[in-house]
């Protein structure tokens, strides 16, 4: 049976890594040999089936050519030892390095774009690598239009899966807690969330904001909360491998990103029935899952006032919050892990 090789920098706690872990576990359950080939780290934050092989081909390069060459050498050695494998590149650089490392070695390749393609700095190099793939898997139709015609023709939209271990929706009085789950980096714009929460909490003083995630902006965000006088209301929870249970009974989930592929934490919040508010950010991932005012609330990117009003509407109307909860949870069946795994295998022709 053909070996599936997922290629990405590392398996730290991000959305792409979460999807790779879910698909890897699902594929080995179906009898496929699966390897996760990491080229810039060795973290594996998400649980993996013991049958999933993890190979580390290198560490973060810091821009050093010598480290990148060593990485390519290790990757090429792996591909020689696994001729005929099917490469599932789940990062732009994973596709670039694999195209170089596997050159002249029998293999097949599928690439999956996981973010806004227009934000990538080396688009020409990325696109050349993507042309080496049989299929380009995208998360939304909006993403397709951002690629050249040649790549659009081999592009297929496959949404993110919902994990089968999602808890059933909470029923009862929810905790007075706004939650956010994302890396603490500029793209996720937690600054906007903290600003909006500062206005919200003036009228809802019994609420707290719990921010799950790690990243380079943590200290800056802590200072922002202190400057606004809400440091006792903004709780930084760090990374949690048990985050679904942590947010399950929360009053609402907020995604404040400036752009996204598809936020896995948002999908999980919807599937658990947590009322969701999200910016209607490029490249349309939130819009693909949320019907505004029915299964969640979409707000304009960067609009603090709209985000504050949305939080107030959920907090002030338990009936409306319950409607969002019930409708949001319906995505669990539509985007089940089994169905999404089937789509990947179908498009790969495996």
Predicted confidence band of residue 12 (pLDDT cuts 50, 70, 90): confident
Q: Which of 92-96, 164-168, 341-345 has the lowest mean pLDDT?
A: 164-168
Percent of the chain with pLDDT strictly greater than 90 = 88
Query: pLDDT-based confidence at 8, cuts 50/70/90?
Result: very high
For residue 167, give Cα distances in angstroms to 86, 215, 237, 272, 339.
33, 27, 20, 6, 19
Place of tokens 């929706």: 169
pLDDT digits (tens, 9 = 90+) for 297-327: 999 999 999 999 999 999 999 999 999 999 9
Distances from the Cα of 48 to the Cαs of 52, 96, 212, 333, in angstroms? 7, 26, 21, 23
Q: With cut-offs at 50, 70 and 90, classify the pLDDT of residue 347.
A: very high
What does pLDDT average to over the chain?
A: 95
Q: Which residues of 248-264 are buried (b: 16+ CB within 10 A; e: fewer)?
A: bbbbbbbbbbbbbbbbb
Residue whose C-alpha is closest to residue 89's, from 120, 110, 58: 110
Question: Confidence band (pLDDT; 50, 70, 90) for 207?
Answer: very high
Instruction: Residue 152: count other Cβ atoms within 10 Å of its Cβ.
Output: 14
Residue 272 has pLDDT above 80, yes or no: yes
At 102 the pLDDT is: 97
Encoded tokens for 193: 């969330």
| Residues forming beta bridges with residue 54, ordered by sequence position | 36
Nearest 10 degrees: Cα torsion 47, 52, 55, 60 = -30
DSSP of 110-170: EEE--S-GGG-TTHHHHHHHHTTSSEEEESSHHHHTTS-HHHHHTEEE-PPPBPTTPPPPP
**pLDDT at site 62:** 84
The predicted model gives 31-38 an average pLDDT of: 98
Peptide bond into 76 cis (omega under 30): no
* Domains identified in the chain and CATH numbers: 4-161+336-348 (3.40.50.2000), 175-333 (3.40.50.2000)
Average pLDDT estimate for 116-131: 93
Summarised one tens digit per residue, pLDDT across range 42-98 is: 989 889 999 999 999 999 888 899 999 999 999 999 999 999 999 999 999 999 999
Q: Does the pLDDT value for residue 169 go beyond 90?
A: yes
- pLDDT classification of 216: cutoffs 50, 70, 90: very high
Tally Cβ neighbours within 10 Å of residue 111: 31
């Amino acid at each position: 049976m053909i070996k599936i090789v997922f290629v990405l920098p590392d398996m730290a706690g991000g959305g792409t890594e979460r999807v790779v872990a879910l698909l890897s576990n699902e594929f080995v359950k179906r009898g496929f040999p699966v390897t996760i080939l990491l080229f810039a780290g060795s973290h594996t934050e998400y649980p993996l089936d013991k049958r999933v092989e993890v190979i580390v081909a290198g560490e973060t390069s810091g821009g050093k050519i010598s480290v990148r060459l060593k990485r390519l050498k290790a990757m090429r050695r792996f591909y020689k030892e696994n001729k005929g494998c099917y490469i599932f590149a789940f990062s732009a650089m994973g596709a670039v390095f694999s195209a170089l490392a596997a050159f002249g070695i029998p293999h097949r390749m599928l690439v999956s774009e996981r973010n806004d393609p227009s934000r990538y700095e080396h688009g020409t190099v990325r696109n050349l690598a993507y042309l080496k793939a049989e299929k380009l898997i995208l998360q939304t139709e909006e993403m397709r239009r951002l690629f050249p015609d040649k790549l659009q023709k081999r592009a297929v939209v496959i949404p993110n899966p919902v994990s089968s271990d999602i808890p059933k929706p909470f029923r009862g009085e929810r905790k007075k807690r706004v939650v956010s789950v994302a890396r603490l980096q500029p793209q996720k714009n937690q600054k906007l969330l903290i600003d909006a929460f500062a206005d919200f909490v003036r009228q809802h003083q019994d609420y707290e904001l719990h921010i799950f995630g790690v990243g380079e902006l943590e200290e800056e965000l802590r200072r922002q909360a202190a400057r606004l006088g809400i440091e006792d209301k903004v709780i930084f929870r760090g990374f949690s491998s048990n985050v679904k249970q942590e947010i399950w009974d929360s009053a609402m989930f907020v995604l404040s990103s400036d752009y996204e592929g598809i936020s896995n934490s948002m999908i999980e919040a919807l599937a658990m029935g947590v009322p969701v508010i999200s910016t209607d950010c490029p490249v349309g991932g939130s819009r693909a899952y949320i019907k505004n005012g029915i299964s969640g609330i979409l707000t304009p990117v960067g609009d603090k006032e709209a985000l504050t009003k949305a939080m107030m509407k959920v907090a002030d109307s338990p009936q409306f919050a319950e409607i969002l909860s019930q409708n949001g949870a319906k995505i669990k069946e539509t985007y089940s892990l089994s169905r999404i795994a089937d789509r990947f295998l179908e498009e790969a022709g495996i």
